[in-house]
Amino acid sequence: MVVTFEPQDYLSEKAKSRSQSHFAVLDPETAPPGFKPHPSPISFHFGKPNEGFFPIEQIDLTLADFPFQNYLKSGITNGSLESLLNVKGRSDAYGQNQYTETNAEWEKVYRRGSGSDNKAKIPKKGASKDLIDLADGLQYSEYRGYPQLLNFTKQFIKRLHNPGYEEWDTFMCQGASDGLLKIADVLFNEGDIVLVEEFTFPPVLGQIAALGAIAVPVKADLSTKAGNDGIDVDYLSNLLESWGDVYPQYKGAKIKAFYTIPTGQNPTGFTQSDETRTRVYELAKKYDFLILEDDPYGYISLPPYSAPERALSLDQFLTIDEYLASHLAPSYLRYDTEGRVLRVETFSKVFAPGLRLGFVVAHKKFLNAMGKFQLLRPPSGTSQLIFQNTVEKLGGVDGFINWILKVRETYVHRKNLLYHHIKESDAYKKKYVDIIDPLAGMFMSVLIRIPKDEDQEKKMGLLTWKLIAHGINAVPGIKMASDKSFSKDNANFFRLTFAAAENDAEILEGAKRFTNGVEDFFNNDLNY
Ligand SMILES: Cc1ncc(COP(=O)(O)O)c(C=O)c1O
């Protein structure tokens, strides 16, 4: 039997029942015979305030050339870093990378994509076609998002992931959380099964549960052995093969989707290999489920840990071609030949979360269903106009990739710094902790080697309080378990992020507090 993929078959009852009409618009089908529309009608129907009522005449943007540019200019690689790094005999290495206008190598990287100046003006009216002016951007907008952004996101996806079928499109939303909410709404009926990673982003679990669907965990492999990418595909395959035996209570239920964070996974930090993605996609075809790919961190690709010798390594600063060819992990879109993958993107991690802006990439039929849900809930026009006018100033798709490379480079340094100082700690040397080296994103999970015969859950709970007392807040794995009883013996890790720190010194102080706290806990016979 040949199964032809039809998106319509996966829609929830709610999604199927929605119509897409606006109360202010008449259906042309109902016009009387002989009706002739007026060539230049006056709009008395939509409640759109004329832009003359808007209290802003112009917005001036001043863009950053580089993340933390003020530190760079005053020398992020200042003398204190050497002592913080505690690496002997390398004093000259740090000074070399200090940004100065006379350092030609730095200048090239620093200015890449910044253009001749870093100012952009957003006028009330009359912006060129790729920009959004205030008359448009502060107005009610098209529910799918502004055409300029739809065009940008489409070009961006083509350049970076290029889906393997024709009928895909993009659709703006208020960040990934909102995209996921709208996807869940149009897909899940009560009783549908959604496979999720054992440890995952908890708000999505709430959305699944709110619709009466059931999240079922897929086992995570948290070992630090080379080549492990965190997801146990054999487990997934066996689970699907013997579904009714493993979950007799869900026998016959529709397995609708697998929700996955494949790159720089939250919380574990793992990145699925090419082979894993191929196998998972094949399973999706065989067992006929969708893949919901949530990928906020994928653009922040990180090389395997290497000891930080200086603040930012110019030799690791990639060209766009290098980045695309051998650093960026492939999206599931690359494997998709029929529209089985719904990908959620966000600008929260590579632009700013306060924009509440992201987009969904999926088969047009899924986006149409989402459109009916989104009719009066498009993302903020202000966010869209700030984003669009900024990326155009940066130089469009490639300009934005250049900005991402700058963000990425800064994260590479931060990861290496945090990893290094945990690795150099006594807690590591005494094998109390082990580190999952993240190959993307902003999270590093540190495994706590609590002896097997101990109550892992209880000891992790105590250690969490110990760490708080040492002045370090980290997320214990169990807090991100999709099913706490399923994971009670597998959750002995903490998720640390190297994103929020103000500077290097804070990362190093955090690593010190964390490892001291762990050591203190072990020295005290695993008691508070
Ligand atoms: C896996 C995952 N999905 C979604 C989000 C939410 O992203 P947004 O800010 O775009 O809503 C996050 C943010 O932390 C996340 O880690």
State yes or no: pLDDT of 87 exceeds 90: no
CB of residue 175 inside a 6 A radius of ligand 1 = yes
Atom 7 (ligand 1) nearest CA? 176
Among 401, 396, 410, 481, CA closest to 442: 410
Distance 343 CA to ligand 1 centre (A): 13
Q: Is 352 in the pocket of ligand 1 (CB under 6 A)?
A: no
The residues pairing with 294 across neighbouring beta strands, listed in sequence order, are: 344
* Cα 166 from chain centre: 25
Mean pLDDT, rounded, for 272-283: 98
Residue 120 parent element (H or E):
strand 119-123
Find out whether the beta carbon of 358 lies less than 6 Å from any atom of ligand 1: yes
Residue 97 has pLDDT above 50, yes or no: no
Q: What is the pLDDT of residue 98?
A: 46
Is the pLDDT higher at 38 or at 29? 38
Q: How many CB atoms lie within 10 A of CB 76?
A: 22
Binning the chain into helix, strand and coil, the percentages to the nearest 5 are 40, 15, 45
Q: Averaged over 194-220, what is the pLDDT?
A: 97
Residue 231 confidence (pLDDT) above 80 = yes
Any atom of ligand 1 within 6 Å of the Cβ of 264 = no
Task: Assess contact for 169 and 369: CB atoms under 8 A.
Answer: no
Give me the mean pLDDT over the 328-356 stretch: 97
Cβ of 176 less than 6 Å from ligand 1: yes
Query: Cα of 115 to ligand 1 centre, how many Å?
Result: 30
113 lines ligand 1 (CB under 6 A): no
Ligand 1: residue whose CA is nearest its atom 16 = 266
Predicted local confidence at residue 84, as pLDDT:
40
Residue 406 CB partners (closer than 8 Å, separation 6+): 66, 67, 109, 112, 113
Residue with the bigger pLDDT between 7 and 66: it is 7
CA of residue 97 to ligand 1 center, whole Å: 33
- Written as six digits, the tokens of 505 are 């010194």
Gap between the Cα atoms of 349 and 352, Å rounded: 6
Atom of ligand 1 nearest to the CA of 357: 10
> Distance from the CA of 349 to the center of ligand 1, in angstroms?
8
Which of 201, 357, 479 is the best mutation target for the ligand 1 pocket, counting ligand atoms within 8 Å of the beta carbon and taking the most? 201
Distance in angstroms (rounded) separating the CA atoms of residues 291 and 191: 18
Q: Is pLDDT above 90 for 136?
A: yes
Encoded tokens for 461:
């709970």
Determine the atom of ligand 1 nearest the C-alpha atom of 200.
1
Q: What is the mean pLDDT of the chain?
A: 90
Q: Is the pLDDT of residue 309 over 70?
A: no
Is any ligand 1 atom within 6 A of the Cβ of residue 208?
A: no
Residue among 197, 346, 347, 356 whose CB has most ligand 1 atoms within 8 A, to mutate:
346
265 lines ligand 1 (CB under 6 A): no
Structure tokens given for 97: 């990378």
Distance CA 155, CA 146 (A): 14
Instruction: Tell me the domain boundaries of the chain.
Output: 140-405, 408-523
Q: 301 pairs with which residues across the strands?
A: 440
Q: What is the DSSP string of 246-289?
A: H-GGGTT--EEEEEE--SS-TTT-----HHHHHHHHHHHHHTT-
Which has the closest alpha carbon to 273: 235, 232, 227, 328? 227
Q: What is the pLDDT of residues 394-406, one digit of tens each?
A: 999 999 999 999 9
184-217 in b/e form (b: 16+ CB < 10 A) is: bbbbbbeebbbbbbbbbbeebbebbeebebbbbb
Ligand 1: centre distance to CA 477 (Å): 17
Q: What is the separation of C-alpha 248 from the centre of its chain, rounded to a whole number of angstroms?
A: 34
**Which own/partner contact pairs does 419-424 have at CB distance under 8 Å and 24+ positions apart?**
419/305, 419/444, 420/85, 420/305, 420/307, 420/308, 421/507, 421/508, 421/511, 421/512, 421/515, 422/446, 422/511, 422/514, 422/515, 423/305, 424/86
Distance CA 231, CA 220 (A): 5
Helix (H) or strand (E) holding 73: helix 69-74
Q: Identify the residue whose tokens are 């939303």.
A: 173
Ligand 1 contacts CB of residue 266 (under 6 A): yes
- How far apart are the C-alpha atoms of 308 and 426, rounded to whole Å? 19
Architecture of domain 140-405: 3-Layer(aba) Sandwich (3.40)
Question: Which candidate, 253, 270, 317, 384, places its Cα nearest to that of 113?
Answer: 317
What architecture is the 408-523 domain classified under in CATH?
Alpha-Beta Complex (3.90)
- Minimum-distance ligand 1 atom for the alpha carbon of 346: 10
Q: Which of 59, 259, 275 is nearest to 176 (CA)?
A: 259
Q: Give the pLDDT score at 78.
A: 36
- Give 248 Cα–ligand 1 centroid separation in angstroms: 33
Q: Which residue has the tokens 């015969």?
A: 453
Residue 400 CA to ligand 1 centre (angstroms): 20
**Listed residue (356, 361, 362, 360) closest to 379, CA to CA:** 356
| Range with top average pLDDT, 184-188, 307-311, 374-378, 504-508 | 184-188
Q: Is the pLDDT of residue 143 over 80?
A: yes
Res. 94: pLDDT tops 50: no
Instruction: Please tell me the distance from the alpha carbon of residue 133 to that of residue 453, in angstroms, as a whole number.
Output: 64
Average pLDDT over residues 111-137: 88
176 C-alpha vs ligand 1 centroid, how far in Å?
5
Q: Is the CB of 348 under 6 A from ligand 1?
A: yes
Which residues are 373's β-sheet partners? none
Q: Which two tokens stand for residue 256?
A: 């609708």
